[in-house]
Structure 1
Amino acid sequence: MLTHQAYPTIFDPAASGPTRPSVLVIDPSAANRALICECLRQLPDIQTVATGDGEQALQIFRDAWPSLVLLDITQQHTNGLELTQKIRAWEQSSHEAGVSRWTPIVFLSSVTDEDTLAQGILAGGDDFLSKPVSEVVLLAKVRAMLRISIRQQEICEVHRRLKEIAILDGLTGIPNRRHFDDTLQVEWKRCLRNETPLSLILGDIDFFKQFNDIYGHQAGDSCLKAVANSLSESIFRVEDTLARYGGEEFVAILPGTDADGAHAVAERMRQSARDLCIPHERGVDGQVSCSFGVASTLPSAESGPQHLLKTADNSLYAAKTAGRNRVILNLE
């Protein structure tokens, strides 16, 4: 059984790495917290934080997002079941990439009736240990729950990476055509609802086929990546989206931006690509350049985003016809 010694309530996790599993101990008794934390020190690969206050525990959980929670079911200011429900609600609201993390919660209590156990599980708890807790059982339970927690975090990370792969262009690292199509639909509806303008910038690299023919496809890939990066750096607002439209074509969605603002962004993009100073013997003045078509509209229920895209495409064609390395704007 655990024996009492005077140990600090909150351990200093400063010496541990950022990926080290952590256990949050929530118990109203300072003596119990000290005993539990001292027991957990036998597991050198974890860090432990403890508190006796429910509200502080919730704040610690939000800030640190521990790998495991050991929770006394009776708190001084916050009922343990209510605290569990708050933790689960916060996890659900803080999901990433469509997957919510689930932190194992093990209840600790001297109350052993079945109703209490059932209420705890329904509130979101995962297991139940009766006080006084055996040191051997506590360590075994923590090891088991941490294995589950770590695997669940790995699943979330894999899901996040898969979603990232699904929406990003493999060569340039910017969003792909699929993500552009989805985002355009969302932003059209948002601007329609808010009665704000929506602008598109469609551009491509001038004489890119000739660039590949002269310098090879490896150089062509390097050129695409460099141009994509320069165009991305020309997009300053977080609500704007730059994507690879296909081949050497790029497209930017500018919600809430009018025609003049979109033209200014396109000109900045044109100049940023030009400033790369990539040699191209058949390019405009011997360097790689880009042409851009801009379209802007106030979305309405009678029209759709594809018409706006068509207008931007017509503008791009006009820029190519007019000599390339330029921006042309057409209002829808």
Structure 2
Amino acid sequence: MSHDTQWYATPGAQPRLLLVDDHQLNIRVMYEIFRHEFDVFIALNGEQALEKCAELHPDLILLDVVMPRLDGFEVCRRLKADPELAAIPVIFITSHFDEADEVRGFELGAVDFIHKPVNPIITKARVKTQLQLKQQADLLRAISQIDGLTGIANRRRFDQQLELEWRSCCRANEPLSLLMLDIDYFKQYNDEFGHLAGDECLRRVAMAMQQAIGRPYDLLARFGGEEFAVLLPRTNSHGAQFLAQNILLKIQHLALPHPYSPGGIVTLSAGLATVVPQEHTQARQLLQRADEMLYKAKQQGRNRLLVDESLI
């Protein structure tokens, strides 16, 4: 199972800069300006630029306006139409000063224009300004997608990622698994120990589940109350069941006392569903089936995993 880019920036990593120009001399000039402070990637036409963006998710794109077949404006339009790439800032590079072109570029979502021949000091300053703005926006976005109590992803983050992974797995014809989990008899736990202890229980359970998830692109989220969700892209039912059983065992090994649980400790119930997304299906079907499996697991005595593969 391959790893993917984390949804937050890696601390200490150099920013990724994509240079797009069909003239290699221009590329060499720009490369020399940025190579010491950035991880620089190169595309020589619009098609390559779109492929590199999907592969690398650069932090910023310097994009030539005039290119054969697919010009800079069309590349920018397609980037901004893709939810996974729309947040990447685009700075247009142009040898012509045309007010109408600049208006068009800003309307398409560009953040700045730089005119050739480029001035290294001005160009570097403008790039750094846009990167700082992007980093601030990324930080605010990350904070808004974190559950304040447990520190894991919140429901908003989960909903967004479910739609993104659904489309990605649909394009690649790969399986997507969803695990729904619920702390057993949590109301009774709160009644016995109080809500502060209940909050601490949620934090410890969330931390243990996060430790059980090995891949950076698997998403653990607090779905609501004492319910959690684990989104497992490119994971078949067998692999998802293995992870789910590990999570349930890890919570049991915490041995958090719970006098109203049959085993005397905090346990989880879980429901799992797996699907290979298709154009005619929707992500809510996967969510519905995993939730139904969770409900049945609780009906059948809790502290167990039930699996549904009817959507495959």
TM-score, normalised relative to structure 1:
0.59
Q: In the alignment, which residue of structure 1 is the partner of 2:265? A: 287
In the TM superposition, 1:143-162 aligns within 5 A as: 155-162=133-140
Task: Give the partner amino acid of 2:34.
Answer: L
Q: Determine helix, strand or coil for the equivalent of 1:280.
A: coil
Q: Determine helix, strand or coil for the equivalent of 2:258.
A: strand
Task: Give 2:249's match in structure 1, choosing from 266, 271, 275.
Answer: 271
Q: In the alignment, which residue of structure 2 is the partner of 1:98? A: 87
Task: Count how many residue pairs are aligned between Structure 1 and Structure 2.
Answer: 231
In the TM superposition, 1:245-324 aligns within 5 A as: 245-324=223-302
CA 1:54–1:101: 2 relative to 1, 3 Å: closer
Q: In the alignment, which residue of structure 2 is the partner of 1:166? A: 144
TM-score, normalised relative to structure 2:
0.63
2:183–2:266 Cα contact (<8 Å) kept: yes
Q: Where in structure 2 are there 5+ consecutive unaligned residues?
A: 1-11, 13-28, 41-59, 65-75, 80-84, 99-112
Q: In the alignment, which residue of structure 2 is the partner of 1:59? A: 35
Distance 1:255 1:238 in 2: 11
Q: Are 2:217 and 1:239 equivalent residues in the alignment?
A: yes
CA 1:243–1:97: 2 relative to 1, 3 Å: farther
Higher relative contact order structure (alpha carbons within 8 Å, sequence separation ≥ 6): 2
Task: Give 2:203's match in structure 1, choosing from 221, 225, 229.
Answer: 225
Task: Give 1:192's match in structure 2, choosing from 170, 178, 183.
Answer: 170
1:101–1:153 Cα contact (<8 Å) kept: no
Deviation string, structure 1 residues 231-283 (Cα, Å, up to 9, x no partner): 11111122211111111100111112111111111111111111111111112
Displacement after TM superposition at 1:284 (Å): 3.3
Distance 1:255 1:184 in 2: 9
Q: Cα RMSD over matched residues?
A: 3.7
Larger Rg belongs to? 1
2:179–2:272 Cα contact (<8 Å) kept: yes
Displacement after TM superposition at 1:301 (Å): 2.6
1:273–1:290 Cα contact (<8 Å) kept: yes
Distance 2:61 2:278 in 1: 42
Q: In the alignment, which residue of structure 1 is the partner of 2:116? A: 123
CA 1:121–1:294: 2 relative to 1, 3 Å: closer
Distance 1:222 1:165 in 2: 21
CA 1:87–1:251: 2 relative to 1, 3 Å: closer
Q: Determine helix, strand or coil for the equivalent of 2:198.
A: helix
Distance 1:198 1:291 in 2: 20
Q: Where in structure 1 are there 5+ consecutive unaligned residues?
A: 1-17, 19-52, 65-85, 103-115, 129-140
Displacement after TM superposition at 1:167 (Å): 1.2
CA 1:246–1:170: 2 relative to 1, 3 Å: same
Displacement after TM superposition at 1:174 (Å): 1.0
Task: Give 1:326's match in structure 2, choosing from 296, 304, 311.
Answer: 304
Q: Determine helix, strand or coil for the equivalent of 1:281.
A: coil
